Amino acid sequence: MSEHIHLLPLHRVSVTDAAAWHRVVAASMAHDVPGVPPPGPGHVHAQLTKPALDSHRLTWLATATDGTAVAVTGLRLFTSPGQDHLAELELHVDPAHRRQGTGSRLLSAAVAACRTESRRALITEAAAGSPGEAFCERWGFHRAMTLDHLLMRLDRTDEDTHLRQAADAEHPGYRLTGWTGTVPDRLADAFAAAKNAMNDMPVGDLDYGNVTWDADRVRAMAQVISDRGDTLLTTAAVHDDGTMAGYTEILLPRGAPTRAQQYDTAVVPAHRGHGLGLWVKAAMVRRLRAEHPGVTEIETDNAEDNVHMLAVNHRLGFRSYRRTHEFQLDVPAP
């Protein structure tokens, strides 16, 4: 029963705590989203111990009487001016220990922390049709957005003609550039300006706020990713006047990943309608194949109403394989 479960706030996460956290997450994901690779132990340890960008993290570990970890939850509290009303929840319960009230106790602890930290919106993600979706609905979260997850196999050849045509298409007045990790100083201001184009991405009914990017912030983001052992690749289209018109980012998790994760793709409003999004993404696929041949697939996700980017991804060869829902709980003021 739940009274035999101990909730422990983790003020400093040890190697043992991180390993226990990883075991719970891996068991939870294997049950709820089979076929989706869980984060590796090193990734989990870095996530729990390394600083995040413009946010801080609260964590709880739930253990049985014998000390075995049975559930975990993390609460990311955003701190930038445009998002300091917002918190993001991650909650996993080992399937062998569910339906005993542990998840509800962890959620109550997270909501109480949101009130203490004056957060009005708590968001989380759950796979469509999963126990997590039912849990969110039971506790009063409302569905705010649906995401379509897509995969692209890089070892297939039937889409290569489309990719080659997209990557080799001429775009007068624009040139491609790229980098690994931190943006070069000469491009930092232009990249930050382009980053602000992400503020008009579809977010459904989420009270997500917005973020203002500058050169220092894009450098800080790259440093956070590097510190946790991941690799960030960026390919961008630059206009003849020096404006960065669009870009795409790919994250390679630490180790030797076979699946890359799509990060941002954006085209600045003044440069839309020229096929630049398709161009930079096709160029990124070509770059991945050349520089990281061990990567065999890319995962991305798009809001289901982001019809333009979905069309771009399908044209490149991405195929839908699962859906998730973004949920939001409106937290009353204390």
**Average pLDDT of the residues of the chain:** 94
Q: Taking residues 6-25, what's their average pLDDT?
A: 96
Question: b or e along 184-217 (b: 16 or more beta carbons within 10 Å of the residue's beta carbon)?
Answer: eeebbebbbbbbebeeeeebbebebbebebebeb
Question: b or e along 120-158 (b: 16 or more beta carbons within 10 Å of the residue's beta carbon)?
Answer: ebbbbbbbbebbbbebbeeeebebbbebbbbebebeeee
Task: Report residue 326's pLDDT band, with 50, 70 and 90 as the boundaries.
Answer: very high
What's the rounded Cα separation, in Å, for the pair 329 and 111? 9
Instruction: Identify the CATH number of the domain defined by range 2-119.
Output: 3.40.630.30
Q: Taking residues 308-322, what's their average pLDDT?
A: 94
As its CATH architecture, domain 150-324 has 3-Layer(aba) Sandwich (3.40)
What pLDDT, on the 0 to 100 scale, is given for residue 50? 92
What pLDDT, on the 0 to 100 scale, is given for residue 320? 95
Task: Report residue 158's pLDDT band, with 50, 70 and 90 as the boundaries.
Answer: low
DSSP letter string over 157-170?
-TTHHHHHHHHH--
What pLDDT, on the 0 to 100 scale, is given for residue 157? 60
What pLDDT, on the 0 to 100 scale, is given for residue 255? 83
Name which residue leads in pLDDT, 182 or 256: 182
What's the rounded Cα separation, in Å, for the pair 61 and 70? 8
Q: Taking residues 65-88, what's their average pLDDT?
A: 96
What pLDDT, on the 0 to 100 scale, is given for residue 256? 76
Query: Full-prediction pTM beyond 0.85?
Result: yes
Domain extents for the chain?
2-119, 150-324
Residues 213-236 pLDDT 10s: 999 999 999 999 999 999 999 999
Residue 261 has pLDDT above 90, yes or no: yes
Residue 1 has pLDDT above 80, yes or no: no
What pLDDT, on the 0 to 100 scale, is given for residue 279? 97
Q: Taking residues 29-33, what's their average pLDDT?
A: 96
Residue 155 has pLDDT above 90, yes or no: no
Residue 162 has pLDDT above 90, yes or no: no
Residues 296-306 pLDDT 10s: 999 999 999 99
Whether the domain at 2-119 and the domain at 150-324 fall into the same CATH topology: yes
Task: Report residue 161's pLDDT band, with 50, 70 and 90 as the boundaries.
Answer: confident
Residues 118-131 pLDDT 10s: 999 999 999 999 99
Residue in 280, 234, 281, 225 with CA at minimum distance from that of residue 253: 225
DSSP 196: G
Residues 9-18 pLDDT 10s: 999 999 999 9
What pLDDT, on the 0 to 100 scale, is given for residue 2? 45
